[in-house]
Amino acid sequence: MTVVDIALARQAIRERARWRSLEIAFWVAAACSYFVFPTHLVLLTQIIISGLFAMSLDLLLGYGGIPSFGHAAFFGLGAYAAGLLAAHGWGEPLSGLLVGGAVAGATGLLFSIVIARVHGAAMLMVTMCVGLLVYEAASRMPWLTGGDTGLQGIDMWPVLGRFEFDLFGKTAFWYAYAIAFALYLAARLYVGSPEGLALEGMRENPVRIASLAISSAKRKMIAFTLSATVAGLAGALLAQTTQIVALETLSFDRSVSTLIMLVVGGLGSLIGGFLGAALFVWLRDILSALNPVYWMFWLGLILIGMMLSARGGLVGAVAILSRRIRAMTGTAT
């Protein structure tokens, strides 16, 4: 009996770790986009970085059910840490990236002690306060952060000592792509590990998880720290590829738009954040060019419409579509 159960469990875990076609499609399409839209590399790099940031929020919200209304705090901290390092004479990209992630992760660990204590609506408010707090701190220290004009004078050395950052953003694109893909693989490992399963179990049934002698507070702290680290890495990527850090990276607005990207893409799938970011950043680029007010209007309408109708975002819509197609062609197994 137990043997069968373990075999079943192993199969379930393997099934969860299976690569779905949507994931493969996204990463292949992202790589191809380099050749299809060679004049839009800056925008494509922005999509990858925003997607990575949305994925960091997915670890927290999609898997842990922990909403954050101030996640830009960690994105911006990573960006400023990496930016300051490069502006003060150390422009090596990979070590700068690690510093960005470490600073955001350490701050995330600190705040996770508070976060683990609260739940429900208070969670939104506490994370929002964290975000506003970090924003205020950065805007009140212009001697360090450059204040409203942003942090300038970031001078990056070549990646791995060989690939110079160029004007067209070719190196920046592949650098961001490689880092984001590596972190995507790492996030997949975390989500499929016992730690990740416990996190999801906590979201589904906290009482039962407690009765299995698993500490919810500890799971939350680990998830929050990891998520903050990935957010910091994404911020550091932005600082290094654009070579400027604006206060906007810390803003409430960025926290909210990332939340929107994630929900539009689909919660709890890791790839959803990237898909949502692609749609969001692309639409924003087109509509804001016409008139910023158009963008606000359509974004609002899309949000209301999405909340009224489909649950599950783009990932959910694709799943429903593929089920229908399979049912029609009769190949459902």
Partner 1 sequence: MLGFVNILVAGIAYGFVLFLMAGGLSITLGLMNFANMAHAAFAMVGGYAAALLIAKVGVPFIPAVIAAAVIAALVGASFERVLFHRFYRAPELEQVLMTIGVVYVAIAAATYLVGPEQIAISVPAWLEGNIRLGVVEINSYRAFLILVGLALLAGVVGLIEHTTFGAKIRAAVANRRMTASCGVDVDRLYAAAFALGSALAGLGGALSVKLVGLDPYFPIKFLTDLLIVVSVGGLGSLGGTFLAAVLFGAVDVVGKYLLPEAGGFILYATALIVLTVRPQGLAGRRQ
Q: Which residues bind partner 1 (CB under 8 A)?
A: 61, 67, 114, 117-122, 124-126, 128-130, 132-133, 136-137, 139-140, 252-253, 256, 259-260, 263, 293-294, 296-297, 299-304, 306-308
**What are the C-alpha distances in Å from 123 to residues 117, 119, 202, 262?**
9, 5, 16, 18
Judged by beta carbon, residue 102 or residue 302, the one nearer partner 1 is 302
Minimum distance between the CB of residue 69 and partner 1, rounded to whole angstroms?
A: 8
Least separation in angstroms between residue 154's CB and partner 1 is 25
Work out how close the CB of 234 gets to partner 1 at its nearest, in angstroms, rounded to a whole number. 21
Beta-carbon contacts of 191 under 8 Å, excluding residues fewer than 6 positions away, are 59, 63, 200, 270
Residue 105 and residue 163 in contact, taking contact as beta carbons nearer than 8 Å = no
Give me the long-range contacts of 318-322 (CB less than 8 A, separation at least 24). 318/22
User: What does the alpha-carbon distance between residue 49 and residue 53 come to, in Å, rounded to a whole number?
Assistant: 6
Q: What does the chain come to in residues? A: 333
**Nearer to partner 1 by C-beta: 168 or 297?**
297
The residue (of 229 and 257) whose beta carbon lies closer to partner 1 is 257
Say if residues 282 and 63 touch (Cβ distance below 8 Å): no
Q: What is the DSSP string of 144-202?
A: HH-GGG-B----PPPBTTTB---TT-HHHHHHHHHHHHHHHHHHHHHHHSHHHHHHHHH
What gap in Å lies between CA 238 and CA 304, rounded to an integer? 30
Nearer to partner 1, 106 or 137 (CB): 137
61 or 221, CB closer to partner 1? 61
102 vs 124, beta carbon nearer partner 1:
124
Distance of closest approach, residue 324 Cβ to partner 1, in angstroms = 24
What minimum distance in Å lies between the beta carbon of 5 and partner 1? 33
Least Cβ distance, residue 99 to partner 1 (angstroms): 24
Q: Which is nearer to partner 1, 142 or 153 (CB)?
A: 142
Q: How far is the CB of 123 from partner 1 (least distance, A)?
A: 9
Q: Please give the backbone phi and psi of residue 159, each rounded to the nearest 5 degrees, phi first.
A: -70, 130
The residues, ordered by sequence, that sit 6+ positions from 244 with a Cβ below 8 Å of its Cβ are 83, 150, 151, 152, 154
CA–CA distance, 56 with 262 (Å, rounded to integer):
10
Between 68 and 243, whose beta carbon lies closer to partner 1? 68
Separation CA 87–CA 278 (nearest Å)? 30
Gap between the Cα atoms of 263 and 276, Å rounded: 7
**212 vs 290, which CB is nearer to partner 1?**
290
The CB-of-287 to partner 1 minimum distance in angstroms stands at: 11
Minimum CB distance to partner 1, residue 294 (Å)? 7
Beta bridge partners of residue 151, listed in sequence order: 245
